[in-house]
Amino acid sequence: MDKIILSEMDANFKNEIAAQPGAEHIQRCFTCGTCTAACPVAEVNDDYDPRKIIRMCILGMKKEVLSSDILWMCSRCYTCYALCPQGVKFSDVLDVLRGMAIKEGYVPKEQYKDAKELDKFVQELRCEIINQKLHPEGDHEKKVKEMIEKELKVTWKK
């Protein structure tokens, strides 16, 4: 992912991205790193770096970006969107990149649906865990266990 081969760069990649709704301001990025510093996924995964993904897009590393597993790691918290001083809207840019990866055959179509379902599951789980902490008298712990068991069955079945 780090190797840059000039002959494989696609100078139009950034324009293709910027032509999609939500990703218009990708070229405003001045690599301040605010998104990466605040991202909860980057905190636990050293390979995940929103600032670097934007740089790779601007450099034209189309194949490397669209074929990378890293596109699918975002937990959709929108912190990067809220904090970016340049209004880049990285979470929306990521959605555009996911769509391009599917359209151009880098990943199967179902991957987008799976990612959406996983995002929903993670947010529901988070709500239940917070509720458990705030209201330990409720049955949230039981619900959390049931949700995890169900998700494991679904994931393993695939």
Residue 46 DSSP symbol: T
Q: Does 75 help bind ligand SF4 (rule: CB under 6 A)?
A: yes
Single residue of 64, 68, 70, 79 touching ligand SF4 by CB under 6 A = 79
Q: Does 59 help bind ligand SF4 (rule: CB under 6 A)?
A: no
For the chain, the C-alpha Rg in angstroms (whole number) is 18
Whether the CB-CB separation of 48 and 73 falls below 8 Å is answered with yes
Q: Does 68 help bind ligand SF4 (rule: CB under 6 A)?
A: no
Min CB(110)–ligand SF4 separation in Å: 21
Main-chain phi, psi angles of 3, to 5 degrees: -70, 130
CB nearer to ligand SF4: pick between 78 and 148: 78
Neighbours of 27 (CB within 10 A): 16
Task: Round to whole Å and give the CA distance between 80 and 44.
Answer: 16
CB nearer to ligand SF4: pick between 85 and 138: 85
Min CB(91)–ligand SF4 separation in Å: 4
Task: Round to whole Å and give the CA distance between 35 and 26.
Answer: 13
CB nearer to ligand SF4: pick between 80 and 107: 80
Site of interaction with ligand SF4 (CB under 6 A): 29-35, 39-41, 50-51, 54, 74-80, 84, 86, 88, 90-91
